[in-house]
Amino acid sequence: MFHGRGGCTPSWRHLVVDWYPPLLHIISYADPGEPVIRELLSQIPGHVEAVLLQRRDLADTPMTLLRGELPQEIFAVEDGLRYALFFDRDRNVGFFPDMRVGRRLVRERAAERRILNLFAYTCGFSVAAIAGGASQVVNLDMNRNLLQVGRDNHRLNGHDLRRCSFLSHDLFKSFGKLRRIGPFDLVIIDPPGEQGESFQPHRHWPKLLQRLPELLAPEGEILAAVSSPHLGRRFLANQFETSLPTADLVESYTAGDDFPENDPDKGLHLLWFRNRNRNRNP
Ligand SMILES: C[S@@+](CC[C@H](N)C(=O)[O-])C[C@H]1O[C@@H](n2cnc3c(N)ncnc32)[C@H](O)[C@@H]1O
């Protein structure tokens, strides 16, 4: 509902509001202060049953229920697909609303394709891909619990789990295995901005892109995403130019009008590439 992080309303750049009926999820990256909370609550219509405030500026990003009760099960619903949400485990809730454009692209282009979903998290891309008729999706994430949520997300949508697999591995120790189960018609790459030793963008993007031809089918395609306050579209495009020059940029996308950005290089960027190299590396 509101994407203050984009900086288009500078005095509210610390605030994000997501609507998962019947729950309103307010995320604040600074202390909003009591008067603002009171004012916000007075403006939120009565049919909003529950209001949850998450303080992303504090350690452990605590959540406070400002109104109502937390429903036992909460789902994000997008294009007729359901995704389970959790508000008790992590700073993220299991679903990234701004990635809608990416899930739609994948769904539109998935039919009959073998897809590798790297950094799969709760398998949002995989759910969209199976809904779009993908023949197979391999999901890889080093966090086993998140992949379990991903399995549940497929069940929630009545999907045939035989068309999906779930590998809980560190990507950078798994290229041999992926190469054996490849090649893939489409590889989705949506890593974290930065995550300890597991993902450091300046070190790991080149590593990954240099190994990618081993995993791609002839004319294989790549959907790559960047979404970080520190890295932008330019960073991602440069990574491909330097480390995978055989990939041609086909199209690029942002998160769209619901997620306005003050700096056009920042926010979510999705780049779609086709790899010219017809031969997999020996
Ligand atoms: C930004 S989330 C991905 C979001 C997801 N693509 C989506 O659309 O919902 C990043 C994920 O990368 C995973 N991850 C980070 N480093 C990794 C690594 N070296 N190998 C495998 N997974 C990794 C994390 O566990 C996390 O689930």
Q: Compute, in angstroms, the gap from residue 191 CA to the centroid of ligand 1.
A: 5
Neighbouring C-beta atoms of residue 62, cutoff 10 Å: 10
The reported pLDDT for the residue numbered 53 is: 96
The reported pLDDT for the residue numbered 70 is: 93
Q: Which of 178, 161, 162, 159 is nearest to 170 (CA)?
A: 178
The domains found in the chain, sorted by start residue, are 2-72 (3.30.750.80), 97-275 (3.40.50.150)
Atom of ligand 1 nearest to the CA of 125: 8
Q: Is the pLDDT of residue 281 over 60?
A: no
Protein residue whose Cα sits closest to atom 1 of ligand 1:
192
The reported pLDDT for the residue numbered 149 is: 97
Q: Which of 124, 119, 248, 135 is nearest to 183 (CA)?
A: 135
* pLDDT, tens digit (0-9, with 9 covering 90-100), for 86-133: 998 888 999 999 999 999 999 999 999 999 999 999 999 999 999 999
Q: Is the CB of 168 under 6 A from ligand 1?
A: no
Pairing mode, if any, of strands 63-67 and 114-118?
unpaired
Q: Is the CB of 170 under 6 A from ligand 1?
A: yes
The pLDDT confidence band at residue 279, using thresholds 50, 70 and 90, is low
The reported pLDDT for the residue numbered 228 is: 86
Q: Compute, in angstroms, the gap from residue 281 CA to the centroid of ligand 1.
A: 26
Q: Compute, in angstroms, the gap from residue 173 CA to the centroid of ligand 1.
A: 14
Cβ–Cβ under 8 Å, residues 185 and 217: yes
Protein residue whose Cα sits closest to atom 4 of ligand 1:
121
* pLDDT, tens digit (0-9, with 9 covering 90-100), for 26-55: 999 999 999 999 999 999 999 999 999 999
The reported pLDDT for the residue numbered 278 is: 55
| pLDDT, mean over the chain | 95
* pLDDT, tens digit (0-9, with 9 covering 90-100), for 53-95: 999 999 999 999 999 999 999 999 999 999 999 998 888 999 9
User: Structure pTM?
Assistant: 0.95
The reported pLDDT for the residue numbered 282 is: 44
Q: Compute, in angstroms, the gap from residue 189 CA to the centroid of ligand 1.
A: 9
Give whole-number Cα distances, 262 to 1, 6, 12, 88, 224, in Å.
Answer: 17, 6, 13, 32, 22
* pLDDT, tens digit (0-9, with 9 covering 90-100), for 151-209: 999 999 999 999 999 999 999 999 999 999 999 999 999 999 999 999 999 999 999 99
> How many Cα atoms sit within 13 Å of 162 on the Cβ side?
0
